[in-house]
Amino acid sequence: MRRSLAAHLAMNPGELQFSYGLNGKPELQAAIAGGLVFSLSHARSSSVMAIAYAERIGVDMEMLSRASPVLGIARQFFSAEEMRHIESHSETAAEEALTLWCLKESIVKASGSTIWEGLAKVKLASHGEHIKWLSAPLIGAEPTWCLMHGRHYGDYLLALAMQRNDVLSQPQKMHIHILGSEANSDACFRITGASGSIGSG
């Protein structure tokens, strides 16, 4: 984590200083961050870090094996509109619930909140490749947010939420770096849905 962040800031990794948000989210000290934000997530032995020059960013990674338990949670806490959307995908309802869970988790991480605060407040639908807001974002306006979800190898679902103060009018470019693997990034990660135009490289 230190090496990756230091490379973006052209600093020595040992010089980086961190603080912690209200819910324990690590952040770079503002004096050295220069607008760089990051988020971490892990599932079993895999981990992911998202880095951007933005106001806020959140990332979440989940094992696909969690889909059935998450569907049970969704039935208790997701909105009626979200559940109608999920149940309309009868054969893949559990995976659809996990996708929305992942997206909600990434949004509340970016906002500095917790998943339990965001379950009812953040309302989304994922129609094919397009992610749609069903509620106002926790912070900022909808056009300032970029959301995406995808598959990491075949066993993980990953979601990213990034927010800027200005409207995201241009396609967002995402660079993917896989550590500890000789496989190319296109084989390791595949974007399956987004709220806007995202290219990978």
Strands 198-200 and 172-174: parallel
Query: What is the pLDDT, as a whole number, of residue 20?
Result: 87
Residue 54 to residue 179: CA distance in whole angstroms: 24
Is 80 domain-assigned? Answer: yes
CB atoms inside a 10 Å sphere around CB 24: 8
Q: What's the domain count of the chain?
A: 1
* 124-127, strands of its sheet edge to edge: 56-63, 156-163, 145-152, 189-194, 130-133, 124-127
Is 2 domain-assigned? Answer: no
For residue 73, give Cα distances in angstroms to 59, 100, 163, 174, 189.
20, 12, 27, 31, 27
Note if the pTM is more than 0.75. yes
For residue 76, give the DSSP letter: H
Residue-averaged pLDDT of the chain: 86
Is 3 domain-assigned? Answer: no
Is 126 domain-assigned? Answer: yes
CB 138 within 8 A of CB 42: no
Query: What is the pLDDT, as a whole number, of residue 23?
Result: 77
Strands 156-163 and 124-127: unpaired
Report residue 167 as tokens: 């409207």
Is 72 domain-assigned? Answer: yes
CB 6 within 8 A of CB 12: yes
Is 64 domain-assigned? Answer: yes
Is 183 domain-assigned? Answer: yes
Which CATH number goes with the domain that contains 186?
3.90.470.20
Mind listing the pLDDT tens digit for each residue in 15-47? 999 988 777 888 999 888 889 999 999 998 888
Mind listing the pLDDT tens digit for each residue in 109-141? 999 888 888 888 999 998 878 999 999 999 999
35-39, Cβ contacts within 8 angstroms, sequence gap of 24 or more: 36/5, 36/8, 36/9, 38/1, 38/5, 39/106, 39/109, 39/110
CB atoms inside a 10 Å sphere around CB 97: 27
Residue 39 to residue 26: CA distance in whole angstroms: 8
Is 16 domain-assigned? Answer: no
Domain of residue 97, residue span: 54-200
- pLDDT bin (cut points 50, 70, 90) of residue 201 is very low
